[in-house]
Amino acid sequence: MFLDDTKNKLLDLIDWIYMNCGSFDALIYLLPIIVLFGAIYWIARALWHKHKFSNNFAIVRKKSRLNEFIRFLLVCWGLFIICGLLTPTEFWKYFWKCMVHGFKYNPFEDFFRAPGMPNPFPYLLSCILNGHPEWFFYSVQTITDILLNISLFVPLGLALPFICKKAKLLKVTLIGFSLSFVIEIVQIFLNGRMSNIDDLLCNTIGAALGYALYVLMKKVFPNFTAKCKLSANDVFQNLSNSDVQSDQP
């Protein structure tokens, strides 16, 4: 009896999140997944460094902790993008219901759909062609969706320059565009998903804005930015060079 009551309360909670949390329901559903696989990545990364750097492990991890944390956040962001955008809109709701109540709720049922026709015209352009540009600016939902889609890719543009030292504005923007393009293509086949050019443009702008934030951060906080860019390999190389110099007469 207690077990059944607990299951029912969990099912009610899952439904409540879906009905009341708006666009943030996916983040709430995915939080346990992100925490789990993020922890696995962090432990695996530490074990790899322990094997690679051996006696220098402690000092390498300490001096590169900011860079490692940025990498960790980027992995968590990637998990959210993959699990959140490359699944049907209600997949994770039924996934957790399946975990609670068994396969009565099958999250893989109706996973794919017949390919839909993506929207090739930006919404603003459509409003202008229809003679009502004010529709775009007066639509709270449209503005909200645009801001969310831009902010969604800002972490990518901000984090990449810290991890890849050759990442410039064009490269970061192209990576953001390519990733968003793949997502939009896959969403054509996913149940409940919509594929349109507005998301592609907003994601690309978000990646570029993220890089702009990196440039601003580099100018305002140069020393802190330099510490954030110091990777484990950089620290180990610096230690090796110091050892070589100290051995020279």
pLDDT of 223 over the 60 cut: yes
Whether pTM > 0.85 for this model: the answer is yes
Helices marked H in 86-139: 91-101, 123-129, 134-138
pLDDT in tens, 60-102: 999 999 999 999 999 999 999 999 999 998 899 999 999 988 7
pLDDT of residue 129: 61
pLDDT in tens, 21-70: 877 888 999 999 999 999 999 999 999 999 999 889 999 999 999 999 99
- Map out the domains of the chain as residue ranges: 2-239
Token pair, residue 118, equals: 């993506």
**Which residues partner with 190 through β-bridges?**
112
